[in-house]
Amino acid sequence: METWLGPITYVTHLDRLIRVFLPGDPSYQIEAIHQTFPGCRQENHLLDDFAGQLAEYFAGRRQRFSAPIELSVSDFTMRVLCETMNLDFGQTVSYKTLAERIGQPKAARAVGNTLGGNPLPLVIPCHRVISANGALGGFSAGIENKRRLLMHEGSTHASIGGGR
């Protein structure tokens, strides 16, 4: 799907969203996606519904996604992703704070690494997690895309630069 962020590809399995690829993500290669998910079809009611949700998000009319998802991840990763899903539109939190919220106060780096592998960016809004010093930190689709998403959401951290 074409968006103002660039083309977004998403994959479903048994009527559940399993992967979202954003532009700028090094794994975003259509040929590789078709190799990883060889049974891909382009007709599915969930695909159409999620496309509508994406269009609403990018038009500023949606703040949360409601597509059913499927995650096959470790317990730690599930806790990180679930807590990240609780972040409100435009709200930012540090990797450290997120680690504290899941009961692992010394795991900020592990939280960052986990979010770097988030299979469902936007749906699980990892772009809302920033460094403790206010820098944007990392993002699989690139810092500029993270900044653009935060600006879209009206976050006060959108103008801050910096790496991880």
Tell me whether residue 82 is one of the annotated catalytic residues: no
Q: Say which of 17, 67, 115, 126 is annotated catalytic.
A: 126
Cα–Cα distance measured from residue 125 to residue 149, given in angstroms and rounded to the nearest whole number: 10
For 18, residues 6+ apart whose C-beta sits below 8 A from its C-beta are: 11, 12, 69, 70, 71, 119, 120
Phi–psi pair at 146, nearest 5 degrees: -60, -45
Q: Residue 114 is which amino acid?
A: T
Active site residues: 126
